[in-house]
């Protein structure tokens, strides 16, 4: 079954990057499925690594914004064709540009 919101998110992500390439580069190694008590789900994916280097992992957390934001020290927003990393500690927002 295709959930409409997931289809919309996928279409939006396709505008930012090639999702099939990302899936090939980052392989899931751990996950916590969504449940109504937590109101979030989590996936840890192992990314590409240089020979002799430690593995790189990407942690993806999705769920109810009021729950997810409380668990984050930083979040990414897409603005003006790029993305911005926002520091949420101490209610001050330090913004820096990052590669889209």
Domain boundaries, the chain: 1-63, 64-100
Enumerate the β-bridge partners of residue 63: 40
The fraction of the chain above a pLDDT of 90, given in percent, is 13
Q: For 54-70, what is each residue's pLDDT tens digit?
A: 878 888 888 888 888 77
- Backbone φ/ψ region at 52: left (φ over 0), alpha (ψ -120 to 50), beta: left
Q: Residue 91 has what pLDDT?
A: 44
More confident residue, 72 or 21: 21
Closest C-alpha to 88, from 77, 78, 99? 77
This prediction has a pTM of 0.64
Mean pLDDT of the region 78-82: 64
**Rounded Cα gap, residues 80 and 41, in angstroms:** 29
């Amino acid at each position: 079954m295709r959930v409409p919101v997931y289809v919309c998110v996928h279409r939006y992500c396709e505008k930012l990057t090639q999702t099939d390439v990302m899936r090939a580069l980052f392989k899931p190694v751990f996950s916590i499925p969504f449940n109504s008590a937590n109101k979030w789900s989590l996936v840890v994916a192992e990314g590409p690594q240089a020979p002799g280097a430690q593995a790189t992992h990407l942690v993806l957390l999705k769920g109810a914004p009021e729950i997810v934001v409380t668990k984050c020290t930083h979040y990414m927003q897409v603005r003006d064709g790029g993305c911005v990393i926002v520091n949420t500690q101490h209610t001050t927002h330090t913004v820096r540009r990052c590669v889209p």
